């Protein structure tokens, strides 16, 4: 009959490997050496394979022992993860968090947020989705996302909202575009023949296109396509400053100055949104606080 292998035996096995000897493992685990030797003998008997080559002065792992070691570390890692998860649950910690962000949310801030979240809540799963305008609200309303970051035009009725620091958006074009040849502020007449590439929901039910100046518009549904089209000189449009800092610095894009727009129209207001019936645990509360701080940090950055 196969006797059950205990976690104590597995931890002792790993300790012997890491410390280099039975005696060193015993000191680390605060046990007598005979207890470690007995644990290893019982583990070998229960598994039915030799783990240690005892023909040398200091026992070394057999090939079978090497394979068992890798599996043992995976088992212990899973057990430790289970304990973190259940400990967190007793404290009200969520099993998972789902976050939906507007496409204009700074990518660097998102990566920093995810990295810090992993360190702060290693047992909590994080799901991240990126959408445009009202699609963020839709994800939060239907429960696909428990927390969202939306622009003000994309805010749907019935959602709670917390203001975040706005981000700057700039009207830009390729230096090869005719609008780039005009110095100073641009009147409406300058945009009559210029194609404006706009980020759009491309559906009648979504938010209408924002800040249109040109009679002719090309509508795209993702920020990457809009960015590439503007760099290629296919039109002009507005992009978040954090996305185009390098382009402006290295001359791949130039900023435009429409007379019809005030400085306030260069700011996109972002909101953290969630359903009113959502009960936030520690991970959600931490995320909300970090979103506030990261957006404030991004707002302080300026184009070099």
User: Can you say whether the dihedral through the CA atoms of 184, 247, 166, 135 is positive or negative?
Assistant: positive
Residue 133 makes CB contacts below 8 A (sequence gap 6+) with: 102, 150, 151, 153, 154, 201, 206, 207
* Whole-angstrom distance, CA of residue 117 vs CA of residue 17: 32
CATH topology assigned to domain 7-89: Arc Repressor Mutant, subunit A (1.10.10)
Average pLDDT over residues 138-161: 89
Domain boundaries, given as residue ranges, for the chain = 7-89, 96-166+269-300, 167-268
pLDDT tens digits for 14-45?
A: 888 888 888 888 888 888 888 888 888 888 88
Fold: same for 96-166+269-300 and 167-268? yes
Residue 89 confidence class, pLDDT cut points 50, 70, 90? low
Under a CB-based contact definition with an 8 Å cutoff, are residues 179 and 236 in contact?
Answer: yes
Inform me whether the pLDDT recorded for 88 exceeds 80.
Answer: no
pLDDT tens digits for 235-288?
A: 999 999 989 999 999 999 999 999 888 766 688 889 999 988 777 888 888 998
Answer CATH for 167-268 from 3.40.190.290, 3.30.70.20, 3.40.50.1240, 3.30.450.40: 3.40.190.290
- For 96-166+269-300, CATH gives 3.40.190.10
* Whole-angstrom distance, CA of residue 263 vs CA of residue 240: 14
pLDDT tens digits for 134-146?
A: 889 999 998 899 9
C-alpha Rg value of the chain to the nearest Å: 29
Greater confidence (103 vs 299) lies with 103
With vertex at residue 125, the alpha carbon angle to CA 121 and CA 129, rounded to the nearest 5 degrees, is: 120
pTM: 0.62
């Amino acid at each position: 009959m196969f006797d059950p292998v205990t976690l104590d035996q597995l931890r002792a096995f790993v300790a012997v490997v890491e410390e280099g000897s039975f005696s060193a493992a015993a000191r680390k685990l605060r046990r007598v050496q005979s207890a470690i030797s007995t644990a290893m003998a019982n583990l070998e008997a229960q598994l039915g394979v030799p783990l240690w080559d005892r023909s040398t002065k200091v026992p070394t792992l057999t090939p079978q022992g090497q394979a068992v070691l890798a599996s043992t570390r995976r088992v212990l890692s899973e057990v430790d993860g289970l304990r973190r998860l259940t400990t967190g649950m007793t404290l009200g910690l969520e099993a998972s968090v789902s976050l939906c962000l507007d496409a204009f949310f700074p990518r660097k801030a998102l990566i920093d947020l995810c990295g810090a979240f992993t360190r702060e809540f290693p047992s909590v799963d994080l799901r991240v989705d990126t959408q445009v305008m009202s699609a963020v609200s839709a994800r939060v309303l239907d429960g696909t996302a428990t927390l969202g970051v939306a622009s003000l035009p994309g805010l749907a009725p019935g959602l709670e909202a917390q203001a975040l620091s706005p981000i700057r958006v700039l009207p830009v074009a390729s230096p090869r575009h005719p609008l780039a040849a005009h110095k100073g502020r641009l009147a409406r007449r300058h945009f009559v023949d210029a194609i404006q590439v706009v980020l759009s929901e491309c559906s009648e039910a979504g938010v209408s296109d924002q800040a249109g100046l040109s009679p002719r518009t090309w509508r795209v549904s993702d920020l990457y396509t809009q960015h590439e089209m503007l760099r290629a000189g296919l039109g002009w449009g507005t992009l978040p400053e954090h996305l185009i800092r390098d382009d402006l610095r290295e001359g791949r894009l130039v900023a435009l100055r429409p007379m019809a727009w005030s400085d306030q129209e260069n700011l996109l207001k972002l909101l953290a949104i969630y359903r009113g019936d959502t009960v936030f645990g520690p991970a959600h509360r931490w995320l909300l606080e970090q979103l506030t701080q990261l957006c404030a940090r991004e707002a302080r950055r300026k184009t070099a």
